[in-house]
Amino acid sequence: MFKEDLLEKSEKLQFKILKKIYLNNGRIAKYELCNTFNISPPTLKSHLEKIDFLLKDNYHNKVQITYSKNDIILKYENYINLEQLMSSCIKKSLKYKLLRYLFENSNNLSSGIKICNELNISLSTLNRKIFECNCLLKEFDINIKNYRLEGSQSQIYYFFYSLFIVTGTVSTNSNFLFNKLINFFNKKFKISFNIKQKYSLYVWTTIINNRKFFFKKEFFNNNFYKDNIKKLNNNVFFLELKTFFEKNYFNKNIGEYISFMTICFILSFDLFPIDFICNNIEFKNNMAFKTYKLIFNQINELYISPTNNFNNTLKCNLLSICYKQYFFKGILYSNDYITTKHYLSEFSSYSRKKFVEKLLLKIHNSTTNYHIDDEYFKFCVILTLNYINGNTKYPINIGVLSQSENLTLSSTINDLNNALRKKFDVIVEIYDENKKRYDLVITNFNINFKCLVDNCDNIYFFTNLGIKYDLENIIKLLDKIEEKK
């Protein structure tokens, strides 16, 4: 699920159009937008007018959509925060309002008439929105039935936690538990939190306060919960956390389940240092940690020497992804669809895709009891590989043979190297005719001059305008080269 799915169909398309323009450096051809979204020019014009109205309404003429003969241009004076703009629109949407109403009134019986009065909508509109919400909630194994949220309580906690995080939701109610929990972690375990982690804990404690009456044995009675809680019965952290919750307004009957769910969220959303997690043997005794170790080892095997930036931050991200898919079902992406696809396009290559395919196959073959969202997993691993700087076993060697001065050429090579390393493990250098072999030589010499270059497998001739104008063609060629290596 993507957060823009909570918008109306037309609003969702308008944000996709706006994001596409923005990611294209604020300028894009009209025909490209029509082709991408399968709409006619008049329909595009209508959506652009609504986008322009939205921008003016929020940015007071400091941001606007303008037109040239063939292009659409996004103009802004200082900056534009599209994520904030989207979150603001989502919070005004009927689907969001309905979901939040059901969350905040989970302890009270609601009727269709009461909800209609609260949201100022008709009963037919309410039923239509319930149907639309249920379509989105299906992947989370929850639904709205008889005007109440139904399904696994842990899934309900997880969905609303994810929803509030991606929309930047802040509760208007007091949250004394948040500060107490922060102090508890700091005093008992010397754990401090950054701003992002504090917000995550704030959202989680808001959910605890709102749904504390649902932390009962009857909701945690299946074998999965029983087995995982049993594994923690001798864990010092779990026992201390249980004592903390029992002392802070929660009785012994529910303290155990709140503590267990808190640990699930801590592990699934990167809230604790990886050393702390690894030092708690009970946190590692499950398929999530075993899957993480498999991924970690497979990534390390890609490189001929230890990487200098496969750091704890990246490791924590990978580990939290594994825990999230172990404890919960469904994904609510923090990025919108267009941005997610943009990142995949920007950082994917043939070798990275094949690596993820083989990795997924190993994970699926290792167990049948561990659900994993293949597309989300692929997205996360490819982004991780993009951050890692290291030399793989099969780098692509590129020589640049140019008629430019060496000083200009060095700058060009630096730009090319930075652009290509987003996708490939490349070694880009000034062409050396004495080098044993290049996978690719890029040159702007006359095409008849290629007979002098005999130590390469592929030659690409770039224009006098510069290599950056040929970047897309070079990327396509490198994909083919990788496939053969």
| Within a domain: 228 | yes
Q: Are residues 223 and 258 in the same domain?
A: yes
Dist CA 455 CA 399 (whole Å): 10
- Say whether pLDDT at 404 is over 70: no
The DSSP secondary-structure symbol of 463 reads P
Per the listing, tokens 């290291």 go with 390
| Within a domain: 168 | no
Could you say which of 243, 277, 311 is where a domain stops? 277
pLDDT score at 93: 94
- Say whether pLDDT at 375 is over 60: yes
Q: What is the rounded average pLDDT of the residues 206-228?
A: 82
Percentage of the chain lying above the pLDDT 90 cut: 37
Q: Are residues 255 and 206 in the same domain?
A: yes
- Say whether pLDDT at 465 is over 60: no
Q: For residues 130 and 99, is the Cβ–Cβ distance under 8 A?
A: no
440: enclosing H helix or E strand? strand 440-443
Mind listing the pLDDT tens digit for each residue in 65-77? 888 888 999 888 7
Q: Are residues 413 and 479 in the same domain?
A: yes
Q: Are residues 339 and 382 in the same domain?
A: yes
Per the listing, tokens 């604020």 go with 26
Could you say which of 277, 300, 317 is where a domain stops? 277
pTM score, whole prediction: 0.85
| Within a domain: 165 | no
460: enclosing H helix or E strand? strand 459-461
Q: At how many degrees (to 10) do helices 153-167 and 195-210 cross? A: 140
Higher pLDDT, 430 or 157: 157
Dist CA 165 CA 167 (whole Å): 6
Dist CA 366 CA 135 (whole Å): 31
Half-sphere exposure at residue 284, Cβ-oriented, CA atoms within 13 angstroms: 11
| Within a domain: 160 | no
pLDDT score at 122: 93
Q: What is the rounded average pLDDT of the residues 299-326?
A: 85
Dist CA 30 CA 27 (whole Å): 10
Q: Are residues 305 and 237 in the same domain?
A: no
Q: Are residues 296 and 270 in the same domain?
A: no
| Within a domain: 199 | yes
Beta strand segments in 338-480, E: 396-401, 426-430, 440-443, 459-461
- Say whether pLDDT at 94 is over 70: yes
- Which residue range is the domain that position 241 belongs to? 176-277
| Within a domain: 128 | yes
Q: What is the rounded average pLDDT of the residues 340-363?
A: 89
Mind listing the pLDDT tens digit for each residue in 352-371? 899 999 999 999 888 777 78
Average pLDDT, rounded, for the chain: 86
Beta strand segments in 303-435, E: 396-401, 426-430
Mapping DSSP to helix (H, G, I), strand (E, B) and coil, where does residue 67 land?
Answer: strand
Q: Are residues 290 and 358 in the same domain?
A: yes
Which band of pLDDT confidence, cut at 50, 70 and 90, is reported for residue 224? Answer: confident
429: enclosing H helix or E strand? strand 426-430
Could you say which of 387, 415, 441 is where a domain stops? 387
Which band of pLDDT confidence, cut at 50, 70 and 90, is reported for residue 472? Answer: confident
Q: What is the rounded average pLDDT of the residues 104-108?
A: 81
Mapping DSSP to helix (H, G, I), strand (E, B) and coil, where does residue 392 land?
Answer: strand
Domain containing residue 136: CATH number: 1.10.10
pLDDT score at 426: 87
Pair of tokens at residue 373: 């969202």
Torsion 352-353-358-364 (CA) sign: positive
Q: Are residues 100 and 28 in the same domain?
A: no
Mind listing the pLDDT tens digit for each residue in 114-145? 999 999 999 999 999 999 999 999 999 999 99
Q: Are residues 210 and 292 in the same domain?
A: no
Residue 77 burial (10 A CB sphere; 0-12, 13-18, 19+): exposed
| Within a domain: 159 | no
pLDDT score at 267: 93
Q: Are residues 253 and 305 in the same domain?
A: no
Domain count, the chain: 5
pLDDT score at 389: 75
Domain containing residue 57: CATH number: 1.10.10.10
pLDDT score at 468: 62
Q: Are residues 103 and 76 in the same domain?
A: no
- Say whether pLDDT at 464 is over 60: no
Q: Are residues 216 and 246 in the same domain?
A: yes
Q: Give the list of residues 6+ apart from residue 201 with CB closer than 8 angstroms, or none.
A: 178, 181, 182, 193, 271
Dist CA 345 CA 348 (whole Å): 6
Beta strand segments in 147-301, E: 148-151
Mind listing the pLDDT tens digit for each residue in 267-298? 999 898 888 888 888 888 888 899 999 999 99
| Within a domain: 33 | yes
Domain containing residue 452: CATH number: 3.40.50
